[in-house]
Structure 1
Amino acid sequence: MLNNSINKRPLSPTELNLVLNLLAFCKYPYHLELPIEQTLVFDLTDDGGMGSFEFVREHIHDRQYAKPLIQAETYDTDGRKIMLEISIDEQGYLYQMDSWVADFNPLVSPLGTVTVLENIQVKD
């Protein structure tokens, strides 16, 4: 849930590239208020440094997870596997990019630094 004390930011270049690459596989429709390059996000502080973030919807503060759009795996620069999931909210807008490092330790490099995607599962 977004509140005014959360720091909104644009996607970093590596995050943007990762999100665009994942969404290119997506078959299920989703919505954005702005083009993805202009969409703001905020970091999910309870993810232990694994790179998860939420897509901002201005003036909508009470959002609920609805379903995953796409799941995939990638790697950190030290070779640890990262599981990824992009989800939508109950109104079909991009909701979160969740990422989990296999050993549950923080990322060494920013999310999306390694561009390899494996085990891609597209939801419908």
Structure 2
Amino acid sequence: MESIGKPSRQELNLIKLLVHKAARILPLNWETDLKVRSMQDGGMGSLLLFPNGIFVEDRKFGERISEYQFRDVDGVDVIISLNYDTKGELFELDVWKTDLSPLSHLPGKL
């Protein structure tokens, strides 16, 4: 199992963009103790999100609240979704590269 830690600067910037685009309002301090854990997704970069730094194992997908699309350096489309769990808490940053290959990099300019 991957370890839980703070998101990288790029990951946090991407999550902030998606939170800003979301049709939901999060608490002002949502990022203060946010922790992340890499998901086993073939290197695409998906993350499980743990608000308030609290690890909860049995959470389930609730709904997608925001989405961002871009092209990776190899020209393949990437769709990134920010998802809530069934209790309305941040759940995951789902990264899907449409050919299922590993992500080369997160977008530099958001």
TM-score past 0.5 threshold: yes
SS where residue 20 of structure 1 aligns? helix
Q: What TM-score does the superposition give when structure 2 sets the normalisation length? A: 0.83
Letter of the 2:14 counterpart: L
Paired position in structure 1 for 2:63? 67
Q: TM-score, normalised by structure 1?
A: 0.75
Pick one of 27, 33, 46 that aligns with 1:52.
46
Q: Percent identity?
A: 26
Aligned length: 108
Partner of 1:24: 20
Q: Return structure 1 stretches of 4+ with deviation > 4 angstroms.
A: none
One-letter identity of the residue aligned with 1:17: N
C-alpha deviations, 1:21-55, integer Å up to 9, x for none? 111111224469x631531100001x110010100
Instruction: Tell me the equivalent position of 1:42.
Output: 37
Q: Which of structures 1 and 2 has the larger relative contact order (alpha carbons within 8 angstroms, sep 6+)?
A: 1
Q: Which amino acid aligns with 1:95?
A: F
Partner-residue secondary structure (3-state), 1:24: helix
| Whole-Å separation in 1 of the counterparts to 2:15 and 2:23 | 14
Q: CA RMSD in A?
A: 2.1
Whole-angstrom distance in 2 between the partners of 1:74 and 1:99: 11
Q: Does residue 85 of structure 1 match 2:68?
A: no
Post-superposition offset of 1:20: 0.6
Stretches of structure 1 lacking an aligned partner (at least 5 in a row): 117-124
Q: Provide the secondary structure at the position in 2 that maps to 1:83.
A: strand
Offset of residue 102 of structure 1: 1.9
* Structure 2 counterparts to residues 86-101 of structure 1, below 5 A: 86-101=82-97
Structure 2: stretches of 5+ with no match in the other structure: none
1:10 aligned residue = 6
Tell me the residue number matched to 1:121: none
